[in-house]
Chain A
Amino acid sequence: MVKVSVIVPVYNVEKYLHKCVDSLVNQTLQDIEIILVSDASPDGSNEIMAEYQNQYPSIVKCIYLSENIKQGGARNRGLEIATGEFVTFVDSDDYVDVTMLEKMYKEAIEQKCDMVYSDYYNNYLNDNRLGYMSFVSEQVVGELNEEKRKMLFFTLVPPYAKLIKTSLIRDNKLYFPEKMFYEDTATTLLYHMYANRIGWVQEPLYYYSIREDSTAQKTNSSHQLDESKAGLILHEQFKKRGFYTQYQDEIDMLFLIYFYMHPLQKAIEKFQDLPLEYMHYLKDTMQYQYPNYKENKYYHLVEDAHLYDYITINDESPEQLKVLIESGKYNKRNASYEKHFCKANEDVIQLFQACKNRNYRIGIWGAGKKGRDFLQVCDPEQQYVKMVFDNNEKLNGTHTETGHPIYKYNENYDKIDIIFVMNRNYYQAIKRDIEKYNPNVRIVNLELWIQFGYDLEIK
């Protein structure tokens, strides 16, 4: 039994595979195995795999499948012969920090965890820049309870940057569905239901490659539609495994997101010819299976939910729909704060008042549309928020529509006592930036606070 098995599904990556596997064979943690699974790869990836197996015989194992079963199937075959105490998944066009496994394994053993997350970078290859990302935050790690598990439902689904106890996957049969895309959507959120303790290495150790193809390029590829299938499978799995009674709202929310909203959004944004029949299928299924989805307690907090109201309210013909979409009316980028956070306005204003009573100088982070809309609704008279921070050079020294000044943080770190971060995905990265300059400032993950209302102690 080795300490960690790394499973890498391989398909058509001859250009990237060397960098990926080099970062794995050079891991500082000894006593690991790297299982490369060729998913019937038609290019030279197979030969590269054989090279590595030859050069590193004691740590590299290769499986060559001859029928393409997609990443889910390939990972499953790897899992079947993995001998590691823990397992982690790496995509074959990404790469990792050479200390990743050592750090994650150490956290797992020292903190007695059955799952460990690390932070990661979105690696924008076209722009040559790195975006710091976290899957989790301090509210959701450690010993798990019902409250934390509920928050974990909203974790992003990719299978990388996590270390998982192999027995957790095997004993609970948490295998991926095969021969389809979005297999991670159908699977990874189930891990939290069986994990007892989650660890967190607060360092970006995984480099997730983003090769931005021209966004103007549209597709008609039906594999985008596998996401709704994944949403169905996930919902079914939660029910079959007996979690529905306790976590009904959360499970239904996931169904709303992955079965309905994401596929619709992608249909609108990415398809050259709108897959109308498919869109109607989604709408009809929702009406049949979950007609009162708007009553879900998380509905108003889910991004852009309102964009899809048209499908239930209106009955436009395909031509009318096409025109409306092209007019930009349903463009995600026009989403406003109002619909997004409206339920929580009063709570936020109360929170601001409490801060003001203690003489805290308030700042918010994020001068994008979300932040500016937020100010229009919650602080139109500039009563509470002193300034807005954003690292975008172009905005430095300008003002929002409400008159709040926008600054770069490193020039004003001593002028603020508490900062509200608008976007939960960037919270961790922003926190690290701010703490470098001023460790005494309080930082609040506002989005998370609004979604879950956890107790915020303002001393």
Chain B
Amino acid sequence: MKKMVSVVLPVYNGEKYLQEAVDSILQQTYCDFELIVINDGSTDNTLDILLEYQKKDSRVVIISRENRGLVDSLNEGIQISQGKYIARMDADDIAHPTRLEKQVKYMEENEDVYILGTNYSLIYEEGTSEEVMKAAQGTHKRSTAPIDKNDWFLSTNETMKFIHPTIMIRKSLFDAIGLYRHYKLEDLELYFRTGSNGYRIDKLEEVLLDYRVRASSKSRTDARAEQTKELMEMKMEYLTDGILEVESKMRYLIWGADISGDLGMNIIQKYIPNAHFMGYIDSFKEGELNGHSINMPNAIKDLKPDYIFICTNGGAVYARKTLKEFGYKEVQQFFKIS
């Protein structure tokens, strides 16, 4: 009998919290799953721990090979999976006991849902700095805002509402749109690709996972910039493939006068070189950024741009709300590209 769920858990040097993570899956109230763990070339005790588990529980399958990175690991797990649904899981998180049960039930009852996320709560590794904790809390707060059930494509364009270790994916999605791609924000890229192809993404507003904030979180500016650049380029590809004319001479504003905004400007220029950049919009900053004026949101009414690119994450919710109030249509007249 084929399993219903394949839990895909990539791990690299995860001996510290692996047992907690694996236990939380093996102790799920829902039993019809296989747990596929991909040992991505760990140099610690990870493989030994996994082989021990395998002796005790026949639902554990292990792939073990040299370090190839997250995307290859995920894709191998998916390729070898036998389940109808793929549930992602991380080696340092803890799933609540009813997570799989609730997700399976929802997906069985809603056949048009292809990706289902859940809410999560935070747990901290000892030694985590104030700064990192604050950043995590900020992201977490934004993630708990309910999604727009009427427009799942736009839901994928919102920050961190579907964090990767909570999601369950209908396996047939991969046959339709392909596997994970080599992006630094591979999960956001997958959600975006899913939504833009018309496949529904949804969320259970219940907390079903404890997400562990690590002391050494990747919040360095340069790493983030690299990720953002990739994401912006991907979204510009999408926009210029039918929504925006490449030759367009349209006049546009960028909402977000900071590093992301500056980065956004350079990228936008690559894709629509004939368009005219009018300047920045920002609720908090004033003056100029690299020679371009920064304007208050109210100025939009006078500036009358043809398009607005949102390049901020923190201010995105406010920006979208405001632009809608001003009568601008999302996607056709404004879009968050960060």
Contacts and interface: CB of A to CB of B under 8 A. Distances in A.
* Size bracket of the B interface: 10 to 19
B51 A80 contact: no
Nearest to A46: B51
A192 interface: no
B305 interface: no
Contacts of B63: 61-64, 81
A125 interface: no
B65 interface: yes
Contact of B51 (A58, A61, A64): A64
B320 interface: no
Contacts of A80: 79-80
Contact of A66 (B57, B66, B79): B57
Interface string A39-52: 01000001000100
A286 B63 CA distance: 44
A51 to B, nearest CB: 11
B69 to A, nearest CB: 14
A77 interface: yes
A67 interface: yes
Interface in B28-67: 41, 47, 50-51, 54, 57-66
Contact of B64 (A40, A62, A66, A77): A62
Contact of A61 (B50, B54, B65, B79): B65
A64 B62 contact: yes
B62 to A, nearest CB: 4
A60 interface: yes
A65 B57 CA distance: 11
B57 to A, nearest CB: 7
Interface in A1-58: 40, 46, 50, 53, 57-58
Interface string A100-132: 000000000000000000000000000000000
B41 A57 contact: yes
A77 B62 CA distance: 11
Given A63-B80, A66-B60, A53 B65 contact: yes
B233 interface: no
Nearest to A56: B66
Contact of B76 (A53, A64, A66, A81): A81
Nearest to A61: B65
Interface residues of A, number: 17
Given A57-B41, A77-B80, A81-B80, A65 B61 contact: yes
B61 A63 contact: yes
Interface in A57-112: 57-58, 60-67, 77, 80-81
Main secondary structure, interface of B, reads mixed
A61 B57 contact: no
B327 to A, nearest CB: 51
Given A77-B80, A81-B79, A62 B65 contact: yes
Nearest to B35: A66
A2 to B, nearest CB: 12
A62 to B, nearest CB: 4
Contacts of A57: 41, 65-66
B65 A66 contact: no
A80 B64 CA distance: 14
Interface core residue of B58, B61, B65 (most chain A CB under 10 Å): B65
B165 to A, nearest CB: 22
Contacts of B59: 66
A67 B79 contact: no
A65 B64 CA distance: 11
Nearest to A76: B80
B18 to A, nearest CB: 15
A341 B338 CA distance: 78
A241 to B, nearest CB: 21
A46 B64 CA distance: 11
A64 B61 CA distance: 6
Nearest to B43: A54
A65 B34 CA distance: 10
A40 B51 CA distance: 11
Of residues A61, A63, A80, which shows the largest number of chain B Cβ atoms within 10 Å of its Cβ?
A63
B64 A61 contact: yes
Contacts of A58: 66
Contacts of A66: 54, 57-61
Contacts of B65: 53, 57, 60-62
Given A46-B51, A50-B47, A57-B41, A64 B79 contact: no
A65 to B, nearest CB: 6
Contacts of A63: 61-64, 80
Contact of A64 (B41, B54, B57, B66): B54
A67 B50 CA distance: 15
Contacts of A64: 50-51, 54, 61-64
Given A62-B62, A66-B60, 17 more contacts: A40-B58, A46-B51, A53-B66, A60-B65, A61-B63, A61-B64, A61-B65, A62-B63, A63-B62, A63-B63, A64-B51, A64-B54, A64-B61, A66-B58, A81-B63, A81-B79, A81-B80
Interface of A: 40, 46, 50, 53, 57-58, 60-67, 77, 80-81
Top 4 closest pairs, chain A to chain B, by CB = A57-B66, A61-B65, A64-B62, A62-B64
29 contacts: A50-B51, A53-B64, A57-B41, A57-B65, A57-B66, A60-B65, A61-B63, A61-B65, A62-B62, A62-B63, A62-B64, A62-B65, A63-B61, A63-B64, A63-B80, A64-B61, A64-B63, A64-B64, A65-B61, A66-B57, A66-B58, A66-B60, A66-B61, A67-B58, A77-B80, A80-B79, A80-B80, A81-B63, A81-B76
